[in-house]
């Protein structure tokens, strides 16, 4: 029912204020129409949820930007939920409006192009779920059929999942390079790193999820229960539902890490050695390559400081000669039982590799320190005021058959020629067999088993970096390199159709089934009207 104006004098002042806030929200949205004698169509929303909506300057400012620092899209309001029911009620409220407003679930806001924003809609600050839960949103259990697993809230950070699980001697099997991301956020994309070839992306290691659909329905889904929703949500860019719980696969946690880097001056040898390493059945646990550009001035970067000043001097001398060098980073996990044999095992694995003689470097660190290695670089940049800058990142999947052309046209030509200071540039192979084609995540089409993950992780206020990204995409298109964007960003319907290719029809059907009024995740610009310009 609606609350008539004549009844307002019976309400406490704070409730009148809350009703005024939601009325203002509806006015800003211009969507839901109240009747002439009412303040708000209260039948769809409780006073409890109204009290958790904010439209003040600080809340709107925080929700209108992201890690990319490239786009500003203020919402009409921000919801700070204290329970899953708060989110359900918000989504139901929108779904039941004659013209619904959009909703975006925001975790850490680590997107680069406004993907977690909802311009003139409502942003859900998922971290607010932590405020009243006393860390009970990460629970480790064991089942005889699947072994150890963790039930984890979608708002939880992977670093907290790591800390909680290793207390019991177990840990998730797949990681991103940066751990201060939410579980729901990475599962909505894929969750990749140099471990993907061995353990699959993070979406490959999920048993079950609880998801709030665009209809406001809370559904449990898995491979066999509500499977269409399960496969749709994994890699689905937030289009079909909001992940509130994920059941993550765990295994026994290693304690130690042998961490090595080798320097190459030849891209062909660099890629062949990477492909050889990921083909080994019991080989390395992590394989990730990157570029060392002479103009960067240091072989180290904010993602990890590995080389001593003397090492850097030797590498700089070589990079001045070649312009670009290639760094291969490999890791082997082990525990106390292998302390006396691990070095010999690694030497066997690296036998015959073609890195530059004398430029192999080794470190030994704890398992947690390796997985959380990027954090120290982030804190250092924050202390210098160099973290809150634009990040026009471009992430691509490049087929193996195109990687040599990509090196020639992008690394050696566009990037080296333009000589712009930027950030880390990653290039490493992974395997098609580790991706389930039923999931929404997009990888290069065709039968080619190996494709490369390329990350151009720019951190700069130089606006020309976006033009450089466009030049790279144009080069790939012109020469038919058949790339796919990871963490994609497009502005037109045709671009999204091309991105999904033969899976576009399935993606549309899932949207119609689980979010028919196109409420969720408008910042992706897949089903919003302005994406069809």
3-state secondary structure 164-211: HHHCCCEEECCCCCCCCCEHHHHHCCCCCCCCHHHHCCHHHHEEEEEE
Please pick, among 66, 89, 155, 177, the residue that the annotation labels catalytic.
177
For residue 9, count CB atoms less than 10 angstroms from its CB and return exposed for 0-12, middle for 13-18, buried for 19 or more: exposed
> Which uninterrupted H or E stretch holds 507?
helix 504-514
Which is nearest to 428 in space by CA: 388, 468, 387, 400?
400
Asked about 311 being catalytic, the answer comes back as no
177 is catalytic: yes
For 303-321, write each residue's pLDDT tens digit. 667 778 888 888 888 888 8
* Distance (Å, whole) CA 405 – CA 407: 5
Three-state secondary structure call for residue 466: helix
Distances (CA, A) of 177 to 181, 196, 359: 10, 11, 24
Q: Model confidence at 46, in pLDDT bands (50, 70, 90)?
A: low
**What's the CA gap between 341 and 258, in Å, rounded?**
12
pLDDT confidence bin for 26, thresholds 50/70/90: low
Catalytic annotation, pick one of 66, 160, 288, 329: 288
Q: Is 288 a catalytic residue?
A: yes
Torsion angle (degrees, nearest 10) of CA 348, 260, 202, 442: -90
Confidence label for 391 from pLDDT (cuts 50, 70 and 90)? very high
pLDDT digits (tens, 9 = 90+) for 470-514: 999 999 999 999 999 999 999 899 999 999 999 999 999 999 999
Q: What percent of the chain has pLDDT over 70?
A: 87
Entry pTM: 0.91
Candidates 66, 95, 110, 275; catalytic one: 110
Sign of CA dihedral 58, 61, 62, 63: positive
Find the helix or strand (DSSP H, E) in which 513 lies.
Answer: helix 504-514
Q: Considering only CA atoms, give the Rg of the chain.
A: 24
Residues 252, 256: Cα–Cα separation, whole Å: 12
pLDDT digits (tens, 9 = 90+) for 111-149: 999 999 999 999 999 999 987 655 689 999 999 999 999
Distance CA(377)–CA(76), nearest Å, equals 35
Q: What is the pLDDT of residue 90?
A: 96
């Amino acid at each position: 029912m609606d609350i008539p104006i004549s009844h307002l004098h019976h309400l406490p002042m704070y409730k009148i204020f809350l009703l005024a806030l939601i009325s203002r929200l509806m006015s800003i949205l211009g969507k839901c129409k109240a009747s002439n004698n009412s303040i708000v169509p209260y039948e769809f929303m409780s006073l409890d949820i109204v009290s958790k909506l904010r439209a003040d300057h600080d809340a709107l400012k925080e929700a209108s930007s992201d890690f990319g620092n490239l786009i500003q899209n203020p919402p009409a309001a921000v919801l700070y939920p204290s329970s899953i029911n708060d989110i359900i009620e918000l989504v139901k409220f929108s779904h039941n409006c004659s013209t619904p407003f959009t909703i975006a679930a925001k975790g850490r806001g680590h997107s680069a192009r406004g993907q977690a924003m909802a311009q003139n809609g409502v942003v859900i600050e998922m971290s607010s779920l932590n405020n009243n839960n006393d860390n009970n949103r990460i629970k480790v259990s064991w089942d005889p059929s699947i072994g150890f697993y963790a039930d984890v809230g979608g708002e939880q950070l992977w670093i907290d999942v790591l800390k909680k699980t290793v207390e019991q001697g177990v840990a998730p099997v797949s990681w991103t390079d940066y751990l201060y991301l939410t579980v729901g956020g990475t599962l909505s994309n894929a969750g990749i790193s140099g471990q993907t070839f061995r353990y699959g992306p993070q979406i490959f290691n999920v048993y079950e999820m609880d998801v709030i659909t665009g209809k406001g329905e809370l559904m449990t889904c898995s491979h066999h229960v509500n499977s269409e929703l399960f496969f749709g949500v994994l890699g689905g860019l937030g289009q079909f539902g909001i992940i509130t719980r994920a059941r993550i696969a765990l295994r026994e946690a290693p304690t130690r890490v042998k961490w090595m880097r080798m320097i190459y001056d030849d891209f062909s040898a660099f890629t062949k050695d990477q492909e050889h390493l990921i083909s080994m059945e019991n080989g390395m646990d992590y394989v990730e390559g990157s570029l060392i550009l002479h103009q960067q001035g240091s072989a180290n970067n904010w993602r990890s400081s590995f080389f001593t000043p003397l090492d850097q001097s030797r590498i700089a001398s070589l990079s001045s000669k070649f312009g670009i060098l290639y760094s291969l980073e490999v890791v082997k996990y082990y525990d106390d039982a292998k302390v006396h044999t691990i070095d010999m095992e690694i030497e066997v694995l690296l036998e015959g590799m073609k890195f530059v003689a004398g430029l192999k470097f080794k470190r030994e660190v704890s398992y947690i320190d390796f997985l959380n290695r990027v954090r120290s670089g982030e804190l250092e940049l924050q202390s210098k005021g160099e973290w809150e800058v634009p990040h026009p990142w471009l992430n691509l999947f490049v087929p193996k058959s195109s990687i040599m052309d990509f090196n020639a046209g992008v690394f050696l030509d566009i990037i080296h020629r333009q000589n712009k200071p930027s950030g880390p540039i990653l290039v490493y192979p992974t395997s098609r067999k580790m991706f389930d084609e039923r999931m929404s995540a997009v990888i290069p089409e065709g039968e080619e088993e190996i494709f490369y993950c390329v990350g151009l992780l720019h951190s700069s206020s130089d606006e020309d970096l976006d033009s450089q990204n466009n030049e790279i995409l144009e080069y790939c298109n012109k020469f038919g390199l058949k790339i796919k964007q990871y963490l994609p960003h497009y502005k037109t319907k045709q671009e999204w159709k091309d991105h999904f290719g033969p899976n576009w029809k399935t993606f549309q059907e899932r949207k119609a089934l689980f979010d028919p009024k196109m409420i969720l995740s408008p910042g992706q610009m897949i089903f919003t009207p302005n994406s069809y310009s």
